[in-house]
Structure 1
Amino acid sequence: MLKEADLIAIRRHLHQIPELALHEFQTQAYLLSVIKQLPQDWLTIRTSKELPTMIMVKVQGQKPKRTIGYRADIDALPVTEATGLAFSSQHPGVMHACGHDLHMTVALGILSYFSEHQPQDNLIFFFQPAEEAESGGKKAYELGLFTGDWQIDEFYGLHDNPNLPAGAIGCRQGTLFAGTTEVNIDLWGKSGHAAFPQKAQDTVVASAALIMQVQTIISREINPIEAGVITLGKIRAGSIRNVIAGHARIEGTIRGLTQTMIEELDQKLQAVCDGIALSYGIKVELELNQGGYWPVENNPLLTQKFIDYMSTNPEVEYVETPPAMTGEDFGYLLAKIPGTMFWLGVADTHQLHSAEFNPSEQAIMPGITAIIGFLQARMAQ
């Protein structure tokens, strides 16, 4: 099994070679080089021309009753690193600011253990590209990568959490991450001279009315004990002060803790847009793009088994965590395959996606040990 010093060296190397969604070729090559150095007796390695940077590794079980999947995302963010680390990103403007370097390292540690200790059940490790953008999990599912000999019965994956102690495991029943939908609204009216508003159709005024009306969706149309967010964060209209704008564009995001909530907010936003179009005599086009960023809704039965193991293991620091409004494309896979997502504490004062983010390497071995223990307990059931 890979030792802690090996894993830290792997994490630091991965941290230096961050790559954006669907361009993780150097990362994939390095991961494959590590995987191929492990004992290969029970391993089968798979890549895909259709999703060229992904890797799947199957560990053949001794007497398999099921196939358990474990996912690690491999892409990075368009962030210029400001950590000052000796092993900082070597790729300008790109950084593992979300800790996927640590995600991959933990997965390699788990894989290395089972490459030497054949599991009871089959295990499939999915090193997934394009989590931060481009919906890599959804692409993989729609390509049929989890069918036939590679069908997964239950799926697990982690996300690092800077607000938890290094090595702690956090989880909860229900939703761990919100689903997200990108919102683009185009308003088309008629431009004209500022002195003759009656001869124009003012999209700035219409935009203002639309923005204010949208605020009532959450405050007056959604059950207060349920969670949803609509944020319109960008607006662009007009070219000069004395010309009425004939076009305006609003961009924003929707967040919801269930897919039902996301779809309800989509419908209500469409109704507001339709009403504004009618009221102001203009055309309003609403574009909604959710992709694979569905809510991460944990399977009740499997999550209870996970929580029971982690919370009763004296060697694990377990924390029940609240849901987060951040997005994660593992939610799409959990909507198709039952499973659980959980947090691994990395004790950093800087938040995810920040230029200073540096997860504690002291989380690596406790995380690996806890997950190996859970997988073995699950396979014994």
Structure 2
Amino acid sequence: MTVVNFEALQQYRRDLHLIPELALEEHQTHAYLLEKIKSWQNDTMRIRTVPELPTAILVRFQGTDPKRTIGYRTDIDALPIAEQTGLPFESTHPGMMHACGHDVHMSLALGLVHYFSQNQPKDNLVVFFQPAEEAKSGGKLAYDLGLFTDEWRPDEFYGIHDQPDLPAGTLSTLDGTLFAGTAELKVAVHGQGGHAAYPHLVKDPIVAASELIMQFQTVVSRSVDPIKGGVVSIGVINGGQANNVIPDDVYFEGTVRSMTRVGLDLMMKRIRQIAAGVALANDITIDVSLESGSYLPVENNSALAQQVITFMQSRDDIDFEVAQPAMTGEDFGYLLQQIPGVMLWLGVNDTHSLHSPKLNIDESALLPGFEALKSLIEWRMAH
């Protein structure tokens, strides 16, 4: 019996950390993963690649006595961030980094594939290596392409996301919504520029944009149930080149987040209404783009989440905490809207946040993370 050990998981993680790639461009990552998976292939396994989504990989194990198909998903893309860790296995791709821990996610998934290639599962098992989580809606692309049909459709889906704020190796989830649904907000305010000394002859897009940004704050404070909450934050604003010239246009971007699908839809509706009102009041044109893509709320299935929590709490060899909801976005939310399942945090104990150029996960999380996931899948197959 082959045992997945810490050294193997660490090597996967470090190898993958060297070669981060952006959404839908994960070709070197794909080749690395496929080489490992093919080296373990046997008669119980099927490996599937998809020409329409060329960096995706699915692995299916035939169960010995299947009652269901369990799905496990990992994301494989990285972020456009220049690494600043100074690690000996620092990113070799300039301006790209696994700053969200997808190297960890992939390593655990490889561990699961290796383990179940040596220990045939009782139920059918599908492991999905998903491209484009950080951008370009890889989960939605995969689902819309029909990847999860017939024998490839899981009855339930599981996945993890690393969490620097938790002790290394600690698992955490909840019965309910773990992560928020998010939408990318892009706004173009088109006015009529001119000399700043003659404001009556222009249609000032800076004043209108300022009004719009302030009005957007009322979406959460006055349109959203305060118990449920939400976020509207602006992170980018551009307009003008000289202090005495009113520009024609102002552009700004932000994020909109809610813990429920209904809440996200409401917030997007109110933003469009406010923009239309400000445009009318200022006699200008405002273009609003709101794209949620696959970043829907990560809503854990209640019955499955309760089972996961009960299992984790019953095991002396698993460190577990009940989670609090987070405004983090994750496109596993789209798949959980289609197929019931559960996402969990895995603690990686770092003082730097996700998406930090200095994120340096504690690798001691790898083996307990793998063991907990492997045990959970086997327990679920026995119940």
Per the normalisation by structure 2, the TM-score is: 0.97
| Equivalent-residue separation in structure 2 for 1:20 and 1:237 (angstroms) | 29
Equivalent position of 2:341 in the other structure: 339
Deviations 1:36-79 (A, max 9, x none): 22151211000010000110000100111111110011111111
| Equivalent-residue separation in structure 2 for 1:237 and 1:27 (angstroms) | 39
Match of 2:160 among 158, 161, 172: 158
Shift in Å at residue 241 of structure 1?
Answer: 2.6
Deviations 1:269-289 (A, max 9, x none): 111111101111111111111
Equivalent position of 2:361 in the other structure: 359
Deviations 1:277-334 (A, max 9, x none): 1111111111111111111111111111111101111111111111111211100000
Equivalent position of 2:319 in the other structure: 317
| Residue type at the aligned position of 2:54 | P
Match of 2:372 among 345, 370, 373: 370
Shift in Å at residue 16 of structure 1?
Answer: 0.9
Match of 1:206 among 205, 208, 212: 208
For 1:114-129, list aligned pairs within 5 A: 114-129=116-131
Equivalent position of 2:79 in the other structure: 77
| Equivalent-residue separation in structure 2 for 1:211 and 1:350 (angstroms) | 30
Deviations 1:169-216 (A, max 9, x none): 010111111111111111222223333322221111111211221122
- Maintained 8 Å contact 1:39/1:116: no
| Equivalent-residue separation in structure 1 for 2:359 and 2:190 (angstroms) | 42
Equivalent position of 1:111 in the other structure: 113
Count of aligned pairs between the two proteins = 381
Equivalent position of 1:23 in the other structure: 25
Equivalent position of 1:186 in the other structure: 188
Match of 2:283 among 281, 284, 305: 281
- Maintained 8 Å contact 1:41/1:115: no
Select between 244-253 and 307-316 the one with higher mean Cα deviation.
244-253
Structure 1 residue runs of 5 or longer lacking an equivalent are none
Equivalent position of 1:239 in the other structure: 241
Equivalent position of 2:226 in the other structure: 224
| Residue type at the aligned position of 2:24 | L
| Equivalent-residue separation in structure 2 for 1:153 and 1:215 (angstroms) | 40
| Residue type at the aligned position of 1:326 | T
How much is the aligned-residue C-alpha RMSD, in angstroms? Answer: 1.3
Shift in Å at residue 343 of structure 1?
Answer: 0.7
Shift in Å at residue 158 of structure 1?
Answer: 0.2
| Equivalent-residue separation in structure 1 for 2:214 and 2:366 (angstroms) | 47
| Equivalent-residue separation in structure 2 for 1:39 and 1:211 (angstroms) | 55
Per the normalisation by structure 1, the TM-score is: 0.97
Equivalent position of 2:10 in the other structure: 8
| Equivalent-residue separation in structure 2 for 1:319 and 1:288 (angstroms) | 35
Match of 1:149 among 148, 151, 169: 151
Percent identity for Structure 1 against Structure 2 = 52
Equivalent position of 2:331 in the other structure: 329
